[in-house]
Amino acid sequence: MDFIGNKCPVCDKYFHGDDDVVVCPECGTPHHRECYESVGHCANENLHADGYNFAHDEKNDNNADVVICPSCGKENDKYQFFCKYCATPLQKEDQRQNTENAENRQGQPFGNMPGGTGAPFAMPFMDPLGGVPADTDLGDDVTAGEAAKYVKQNTPYFVRIFSNIKAFNKSKFNFSAALFSGGYMLYRKMYKIGAVIFGLEVALYAAMLYVVIAFRDLYNQFMEAYASGMIKVNEFLSKLSTADAIKLYVPGIVYIMLIALMIVIGANFNRLYM
């Protein structure tokens, strides 16, 4: 008998799929073996004289609106396909098949409203692991399901990427990491490297801003020459000292460094995150 969704009457905790469960031979009440041995008898022993039978009489305080994850034992909405805590499938195989068959009957790819309007009716089946089995080894004894619990947001993308890195040594360019760099790393809980990158970006922006403000007269003269044409620009540049030329090129150099940093982070973020 499957006792997932029921609670042990001793510790009042839900049974997991891998729990060691013993059943009272008289009334059928399930217990954790450790709990049963701790009390030495069935927790419902006082009900035996009244003919109590767990399978017929015990509702076990189950909530019809929730389903219990067979892996972590947490409560989830009954309409969820996967546990929001550990990404374990919640529906049994026959339930998933019935759901998929219902979606197929309502039309592809989104189903039809009554009357054949073709408007969306059934939600597409979504896999938080991106099609990767939850027990797939991603390295260092970490499974895809465990990685999904850590990632939490956008798990289909990252779990697929991690799987491809592990199996084929192939990754993808991460545009979010490229655009937001240090801040995105901090958001993804990469605190050490995120703090370093964020600090470097702030330092580069601060240096560029300082030079532009401190030597604004030099930049104003350059912009006036630029507005007059390239001949004036060349004449202006030829009269500059080496120090002034360096000051003039600092913002451009810093900007190129920031772009290069964004590209490097975008290209390598997924591997660093993994």
Listed by start position, the domains of the chain span 127-170, 177-273
The answer to pTM > 0.85 is no
Long-range contacts of 145-151 (CB under 8 A, 24+ apart): 145/71, 145/86, 145/87, 145/88, 146/86, 148/86, 148/87, 149/85, 149/86, 149/87, 150/189
Burial (CB < 10 A; 0-12, 13-18, 19+), residue 116, is exposed
Contact between residue 147 and residue 159 where contact means Cβ atoms under 8 Å apart? yes
Which residue in the block uniquely carries the two structure tokens 């009957």?
105
Structure tokens that stand for 107 in this block: 């039309």
pLDDT in tens, the chain (274 residues): 567 768 888 998 888 777 888 999 888 899 999 999 998 999 988 888 888 888 766 554 445 567 777 777 777 777 667 777 777 777 654 444 544 454 444 444 444 444 444 444 443 346 788 888 888 899 888 888 889 889 988 888 999 999 999 989 999 999 999 999 999 999 999 999 999 999 999 999 999 999 889 999 998 888 888 898 888 888 888 888 889 888 898 889 999 999 999 999 999 999 999 9
For residue 241, give the 3-state DSSP assignment.
coil
Which residue in the block uniquely carries the two structure tokens 């403000």?
213
